Amino acid sequence: MDVSKKKELQALAVRIRMAALEAIHSLGSGHIGGALSICDVLAVLYGGEMRVDPQNPQWPERDKLVCSKGHAGPGVYGTLAVKGFFPYEELKTLNRPGTRLPSHCDRNKTPGVDMTTGSLGQGTSLACGMAMGEKLRGRDSRVFLIVGDGESNEGQVWEAFSFAAAKKLDNLVVLLDWNKRQLDGWTEDVLSMGDYVEKFNAFGFDTVKVDGNDVEALQGALERTRVGNGKPFAIVMDTVKGAGIKEVAETVMNHSLTVNDEQYTRWMAQLQSELDALEG
Amino acid sequence: MEIVYNGEMDKRACKEVLGRVIPQLVKEDPEIVYLDADLMSCIGTLKGTRDVADRAINCGIAEANMIGVACGLASAGFKPIVHTFGPFASRRCFDQVFLSAGYAKNDITIIGTDPGVMAAMNGGTHMPFEDMALYNTIPGATIIDVTDPTLLESAIRQCVNRKGVKYIRVGRKQYAKVYAEGSEVPIGKATVLREGGDAVVFASGILVHEAMKAAETLAAEGTQISVLDMFSVKPLDEEAVVEYARKTGAVVVAENHNRHGGLYASVAQVLCERCPVPAACVAVEDEFGEVGPQGYLQERFGLTADHVVAQVKAVLARKG
């Protein structure tokens, strides 16, 4: 990856974090940890890897994203706002009465959201059906599925992964957000899931593990998924829950946090200076 | 639509209808996909779908995933028909149906076979007395309690092109013939099978036949009752409920389901709000199912013509 492309994606990731923070601060609290951990992959996906058109969010030939960890909505909304799917100012309506930006992703409300999620695990099967639908329609669109590591406690996730491999859904890319924490604390303590790479391989996936907060590593892994080989792809993203805002990342129980005006101002200034350095 | 009820069984088992109609629909309409959870052989669709195997998807024994996959296909514009046994098509995957299909507006048709006592030899674990109650709570859902093979085919053809979550409960065996072959029976309208002024029985599924037999017995004793086929449990034909409740002043609701949350509950709501008259039900009490022949189970759980007769007499006594 050339340096300018890398800086561009890194800057996009910072902008997405700023947008997610804008939304969560406007409400005063929200699912900040798991939204921040996926901002880098969202930047790579919407920064060029995915075939999308912000002016035509229902374009049938587009690539689709299912954020099965639906509570990361603010990260997805931040991305869509930055990319122009809807006005940036609308981020401040998060969870307000009548909003198009509910806590969990809703395909019937938000321009650019491809699937409704929120009850953990369900997005995995939906993504399989979507990927199968693309194949039946003869389209070369890909379906990207973000799954939380805590979410993978749900049995439905593994039903869906079995299905994806059995039906050779090689237009499906699973992005496992291995941020090592869930609502009650460390996943190792709540319900240890073992080695994800071994698990995915055993389930019949073509699997790689990368630094999930490194846009260059993510881009490299995603490039491998452009041509199908009869197997679904899995990218185990080694991430930090709360990545990009040090104080959030260092708070162990950061699934949902309050964000006051002082924190917002300080964190925004930090993100802005990162952005200036990248774009300066 | 033509009514041809004479107490005789329809020669075709519903399994034959499912085995013919589902493959036919998949072949007729390239937008239709059929998903099953390792029970294709049980409804005779395994062979008939071999040449359209890309749109006849065996999901294995994983009902929650099957519902999600169907919903994903719906989001790509397909019209999925999903089948498994009734308990697995309702209890087992309820949150998936509620959210991935209902809430997310991914329109799918779900066929749950062997409802209530029709699960017979599979016994209590496979015997849903509560499937309609669950589906009744899903906003905008359609619930069809199948009356006979003709209605089954008509219902499937309407449901695949209908919005929302559609749930069709049907036994795989024979039913008494009610509708002439080829009849279109519109969803949302009750069918009047018999007119009588003393009381009305609102029945669905296998209880339609029991209600008609009960009507004969009562007529011989000088009591004339109306019998309506309420196959469309949701949307319910509320106007028919009110009209016949007013006309007769005494109501019995008969269903192969428990008394909580199914047809009786829906009719009773309408009566409470619009036309309070004495009412009773022929339905399963607060009990789990058990194993045995269907005839035994109908006796055991109180779902026979004799039970209908008794309940009609009970409401007539309260009518005064």
For residue B60, the chain A residues in CB contact (below 8 A) are: 162-163, 166
Task: For chains A and B, count residue pairs whose Cβ atoms are closer than 8 Å.
Answer: 106
- In the predicted model, is pLDDT for residue B188 greater than 80? yes
Q: Give the CATH number for residue A201.
A: 3.40.50.970
Architecture per CATH, domain B14-170, reads as 3-Layer(aba) Sandwich (3.40)
Does the distance separating the beta carbons of A156 and B105 come in below 8 Å?
no
**Residue % of chain A over a pLDDT of 70:** 100
Count the Cβ atoms, other than its own, within 10 Å of residue B103: 17
Domain ranges, residue A74: 3-279
pLDDT band at A57 (very low <50, low <70, confident <90, very high): very high
For residue A160, the chain B residues in CB contact (below 8 A) are: 65, 68-69
Does the distance separating the beta carbons of B77 and A133 come in below 8 Å?
yes
Does the distance separating the beta carbons of A162 and B62 come in below 8 Å?
yes
- In the predicted model, is pLDDT for residue A280 greater than 90? no
Region for A81 from its dihedrals, namely left if φ exceeds 0, alpha if ψ lies in -120 to 50, beta otherwise: alpha
Query: How many domains does the structure of chain A reveal?
Result: 1
Tens-digit pLDDT profile for residues B88-101: 999 999 999 999 99
User: Does residue B200 contact residue B169 with C-beta atoms inside 8 Å?
Assistant: no
Please state the rounded mean pLDDT for residues A262-266.
Answer: 98
- In the predicted model, is pLDDT for residue B304 greater than 90? yes
Does the distance separating the beta carbons of A122 and B100 come in below 8 Å?
yes
Q: How far apart are CA B268 and CA B262, in angstroms?
A: 10
Does the distance separating the beta carbons of B55 and A130 come in below 8 Å?
no
Question: CA of A194: how far to CAs of A153, A188, B280, B286, in Å?
Answer: 11, 9, 56, 44
Does the distance separating the beta carbons of A167 and B95 come in below 8 Å?
no
- In the predicted model, is pLDDT for residue B178 greater than 90? yes
pLDDT band at B163 (very low <50, low <70, confident <90, very high): very high
Please state the rounded mean pLDDT for residues B133-149.
Answer: 98
Task: Find how far residue A209's CA is from the centre of its chain.
Answer: 16
pLDDT band at A272 (very low <50, low <70, confident <90, very high): very high
- In the predicted model, is pLDDT for residue B320 greater than 80? no
Helix (H) / strand (E) element for A44: namely: helix A39-44
Of A107, A124, A128, which is closest to B104 when you measure between CB atoms? Answer: A107
Same fold for the domain at B14-170 and the one at B191-319? Answer: yes
Does the distance separating the beta carbons of B103 and A136 come in below 8 Å?
no
Does the distance separating the beta carbons of B104 and A115 come in below 8 Å?
yes
Tens-digit pLDDT profile for residues A183-226: 999 999 999 999 999 999 999 999 999 999 999 999 999 999 99
User: Does residue A136 contact residue B78 with C-beta atoms inside 8 Å?
Assistant: yes
Tokens of A131: 């990927």
Architecture per CATH, domain B191-319, reads as 3-Layer(aba) Sandwich (3.40)
Mean pLDDT, chain B, integer:
98
Tens-digit pLDDT profile for residues B204-231: 999 999 999 999 999 999 999 999 999 9
Does the distance separating the beta carbons of A129 and B71 come in below 8 Å?
yes
User: Does residue B200 contact residue B250 with C-beta atoms inside 8 Å?
Assistant: yes
Count the Cβ atoms, other than its own, within 10 Å of residue B14: 24
Q: Which of residues 141-200 of A touch B (CB under 8 A)?
A: 155-156, 159-160, 162-163, 166-167
Q: How far apart are CA A202 and CA A234, in angstroms?
A: 12
Please state the rounded mean pLDDT for residues A246-272.
Answer: 96
Q: Which of residues 50-109 of A touch B (CB under 8 A)?
A: 60, 106-108
Tokens of B241: 């409920």
Give the closest-approach CA distance of A210 to chain B in angstroms.
Answer: 28
Does the distance separating the beta carbons of A124 and B62 come in below 8 Å?
no
Q: Which residue of A has its CA nearest to B66?
A: A125
User: How high is the pLDDT of residue B170?
Assistant: 98
Does the distance separating the beta carbons of B99 and A118 come in below 8 Å?
yes
Tens-digit pLDDT profile for residues A146-162: 999 999 999 999 999 99
Of B54, B68, B105, which is closest to A122 when you measure between CB atoms? Answer: B68
**Residue % of chain B over a pLDDT of 70:** 100
SS3 A67: strand
Interface-testing mutation among A68, A114, A115, A159, with chain B (most B C-beta atoms within 10 A): A159
| Domain range annotation of chain B | 14-170, 191-319
Q: What is the 3-state secondary structure (H, E, C) of chain B?
A: CCECCCCCECCCCHHHHHHHHHHHHHHHCCCEEEEECCCCHHHCCCCCCHHHHHHEEECCCCHHHHHHHHHHHHHCCCEEEEEEECCCCCCCCHHHHHHHHHHCCCCEEEEEECCHHHHHHHCHHHCCCCHHHHHHCCCCCEEEECCCHHHHHHHHHHHCCCCCEEEEEECCCCCECCECCCCCCCCCCCEEEECCCCEEEEECCCHHHHHHHHHHHHHHCCCCEEEEECCEEECCCHHHHHHHHHHHCCEEEEEEEECCCCHHHHHHHHHHHHCCCCEEEEEECCCCCCCCCHHHHHHHCCCCHHHHHHHHHHHHHHHC
Does the distance separating the beta carbons of B54 and A129 come in below 8 Å?
no
Tens-digit pLDDT profile for residues B238-252: 999 999 999 999 999
Of A119, A131, A160, which is closest to B65 when you measure between CB atoms? Answer: A160
For residue B68, the chain A residues in CB contact (below 8 A) are: 122-126, 128-129, 156, 160
Give the closest-approach CA distance of A182 to chain B in angstroms.
Answer: 22
Q: Could you tell me if A129 lies within 8 Å of chain B, comparing CB atoms? A: yes
